[in-house]
Amino acid sequence: MQSPDPSLRALAERVAKLEAQNRRLKQAEISALILASAAVLMGQTQTSRVLEANAFHLKDADGRVRARLSMDAADRPTLSLLDTKGLPVASLGGGGQPFLVLFRPGTNEQIKLGANTAFFGLGLYEKEIRAGLSIQNSKPGLDLFDESGTAQATLAARPTGSFLRLKDPAGKEISTLWVDSSAGGSSFNMSGSAGSLSVNLGEEAGGPSLEITDNEGFSTVLGRREMVGTGRKERKPAASLLLLGKNRKVLWSAP
């Protein structure tokens, strides 16, 4: 009997090794499948778990805090997004007075959007507030401020009309424009260091008329007006002129 060819014997041994490796590979695949299924089942059964902490910090690759979720001093949950220097670029707060603040990098300029029980609105800030848009008691208004935060102009809408109010740097009202449907028209008032000017276009308020008054109390009235005499009222036409002294005493009139 001839001995087996060495090449055939080597081939048979190699085939046997491959079959053994194949069986081990199948066993490993089955084990991995079982572990993966168990992990999925465990994850499904643990979805109700709650992670609790007083604060969460999100860091970048260099270990710098770039986001922070915590409770602030007002017991309000706050989310802050930070730049690489740790300065805020955006903040979001909850609670009874929610807000959203956007910071302009490298400046004191901010945009604030907030709400509370009294009103809600949008504010633009530098060191102080410079502009504000708000709605209070269903009445919208726009306010403009100087660098110190003193109101300089106010535009507001009311159920019966609207008004524009202008102030000087000291906060003194110098000009007002009214549109009031309840008075049947509109009016304009302006004041300065020498006196005041008033224009009334409301018919129910006695207009149209124009009145100029100096600081000493003397006035000139041009236009329609009501004259009160002894026991009666007399309405003068728009083409009339009235000069008044102190205490509104009539000095001269025509017609």
pLDDT for res 1: 44
Q: Provide the 3-class DSSP secondary structure of residue 231.
A: coil
- How far apart CA 180 and CA 217 sit, in angstroms, is 27
CA angle at residue 68 from 59 to 43, to 5 degrees? Answer: 75
Structure tokens at 2: 């001839």
Only one residue has tokens 């609790």, namely 52
- How far apart CA 172 and CA 189 sit, in angstroms, is 13
Beta strand 129-136 with 139-145 is antiparallel
C-alpha distance from residue 27 to each of 17, 20, 23, 35 (Å): 16, 11, 6, 12
pLDDT for res 217: 92
Q: Which stretches of the chain drop beneath a pLDDT of 70?
A: 1-48, 182-184, 203-206, 226-234
Backbone φ and ψ of 129, nearest 5° = -65, 140
Structure tokens at 35: 């572990």
Q: How many residues are listed for the chain in this entry?
A: 255
User: Largest alpha-carbon pair distance within the chain?
Assistant: 158
pLDDT for res 134: 96
- How far apart CA 138 and CA 135 sit, in angstroms, is 6
- How far apart CA 170 and CA 98 sit, in angstroms, is 33
- What digits encode the pLDDT tens for the residues 180-198? 776 667 888 898 888 999 9
CB 139 within 8 A of CB 155: no
pLDDT for res 72: 83
pLDDT for res 235: 72
